[in-house]
Amino acid sequence: MSDIVEFDANGKAIRYLRSIHEIPYLNDPNIIVGSLTVPVVPMKYWKRVGNAVVEMTVAEKAVVDAAEAVLVQATERTRIENLQLTGKELAQLIIAKTAITKDQIIAVVKALYGL
């Protein structure tokens, strides 16, 4: 029984399994097999150096975080463009991105519905 860490083609750790039967994984160049010590940080901050799994540097972590932030913004923008936000999510987004308050939003909704 061994531990495995699987990496994608870009070197990103995508799977970590502990105490498994290693034979199916032995000849895969994208997988490290053995009694592994892995960093005590989220897997997104792991990288492969030879046959070891190590923690990324601060600069490498910043790149990962920046890429993640761009993806989150793109997803948010797509959801807005496709009107896939719930009313609550839309209100939270408006409050976060503008100077409007929750009370002002409630007042507008009440006015629209004649309440």
pLDDT in tens, 16-34: 888 888 777 778 888 888 7
pLDDT higher for 109 or 18? 18
Residue 85 pLDDT more than 70?
Answer: no
pLDDT higher for 93 or 6? 6
Q: What is the DSSP letter of 10?
A: T
Q: How far is it, in rounded angstroms, from Cα 62 to Cα 70? A: 12
| Whole-model pTM over 0.85 | no
Return phi, psi of residue 52, to 5°: -125, 150
Report the pLDDT value the prediction gives residue 98, as an integer from 0 to 100.
76
Report the pLDDT value the prediction gives residue 58, as an integer from 0 to 100.
92
Q: How far is it, in rounded angstroms, from Cα 3 to Cα 47? A: 16
At residue 100 the predicted structure's pLDDT band, cuts being 50, 70 and 90, is confident
Residue 89 pLDDT more than 80?
Answer: no
Residue 80 pLDDT more than 70?
Answer: no
- Of 30, 27, 24, 38, give the one whose Cα is nearest residue 10: 30
Is-contact 31 6, C-beta < 8 A? yes
Where in the chain are the domains?
2-56, 85-115
Q: Is 2 helix (H, G, I), strand (E, B) or coil?
A: strand
Report the pLDDT value the prediction gives residue 22, as an integer from 0 to 100.
74
Report the pLDDT value the prediction gives residue 82, as an integer from 0 to 100.
64
